[in-house]
């Protein structure tokens, strides 16, 4: 669920401006999962543009407090959300930790890095939601460390049904600054894509795991 349509529209506009969202229906990308995709989202690029990263952190901070109340700690999901998570923690004046995909194999073998006390309320920051699997693994790691996870926020979501189901089943509330539907509307309006490409991108979202596979 997006925080609000104005923020989603502005977020889409900014991501398109800096080419953080790459739309290429004619020459699809291949994700790590093996899925063929006409879109690739790289939100790390936002960190290189101070006005844009400041907009994102301010929108996050404002909407987090409004929707969830002020948590004790902000947690970023490694590696993509470490940067934006730190910026959000900084503007909110809160401690920051980050969560690895799995525990380290050496040293203290931590999965949650930073100082976190049992019982503290934590708001998780993510950069991108696809299926939600890795994001929810971070939530489980925080819970295992004794945290009270209030919810999760992200810059962008593809809005896959499987993600909605995964978050619902995990009983984790998710809010995002932007989403796929608003992105496509902005991309067409600003002529980043044609109407035909818009139709292709809409079709892909219905069945991303099988799209582009020849039978």
> Is 127 assigned a ligand-binding role in the annotation?
yes
Q: Is 133 annotated as a binding residue?
A: yes
Residue 155 known to bind ligand: no
57 is in an annotated binding site: no
- Contact indicator for 98, 116 with CB cutoff of 8 Å: no
- Report whether 129 belongs to an annotated binding site: yes
Residue with tokens 């940067």: 83
Cα dist from 152 to 35, 94, 126, 204, whole Å: 25, 16, 7, 26
Q: Is 165 annotated as a binding residue?
A: no
Q: Is 173 annotated as a binding residue?
A: no
Please indicate if the annotation marks 105 as binding a ligand.
Answer: no
Query: What percent helix, strand, coil does the chain show, rounded to 5?
Result: 45, 20, 35
| 48 in a known ligand binding site | no
For 5, left (φ over 0), alpha (ψ -120 to 50), or beta?
A: alpha
Residue 132 labeled ligand binder:
yes
On whether 209 is known to bind a ligand per the annotation, the reply is no
Consult the annotation and say whether 42 binds a ligand. Answer: no
The Cα-based distances of 39 to 9, 30, 156 in angstroms read 18, 9, 13
* DSSP conformation class of 72: S
- Cβ proximity of 150 and 122 under 8 Å: yes
Residue 171 makes CB contacts below 8 A (sequence gap 6+) with none
Residues placed in the known binding site for 5-phospho-alpha-D-ribose 1-diphosphate: 100, 104, 106, 126-134
Residues placed in the known binding site: 100, 104, 106, 126-134
Residues placed in the known binding site for orotate: 130
């Amino acid at each position: 669920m997006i925080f609000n349509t104005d923020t989603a529209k502005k977020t889409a506009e900014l991501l398109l401006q800096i080419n953080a969202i790459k739309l290429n229906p004619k020459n699809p990308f291949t994700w790590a999962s093996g899925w063929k995709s006409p879109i690739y989202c790289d939100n790390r690029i936002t960190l290189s543009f101070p006005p844009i990263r400041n907009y994102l952190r301010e929108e996050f901070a404002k909407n987090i407090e409004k929707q969830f109340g002020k948590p004790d700690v902000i947690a970023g999901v490694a590696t993509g959300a470490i940067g934006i998570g730190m910026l959000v923690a900084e503007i909110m004046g809160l401690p920051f930790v980050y969560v690895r995909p799995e525990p380290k194999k050496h040293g203290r073998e931590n999965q949650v890095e930073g100082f976190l006390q049992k019982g503290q309320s934590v708001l998780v920051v993510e950069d991108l939601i696809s299926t939600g699997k890795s994001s929810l693994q971070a939530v489980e790691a925080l819970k295992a460390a004794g945290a009270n996870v209030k919810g999760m926020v992200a810059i962008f979501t593809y809005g896959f049904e499987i993600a909605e189901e995964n978050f619902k089943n995990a009983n984790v509330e998710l809010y995002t600054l932007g989403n796929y539907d608003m992105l496509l509307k902005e991309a067409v309006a600003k002529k980043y894509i044609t109407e035909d490409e818009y139709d292709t991108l809409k079709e892909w979202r219905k069945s991303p795991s099988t799209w582009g596979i020849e039978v």
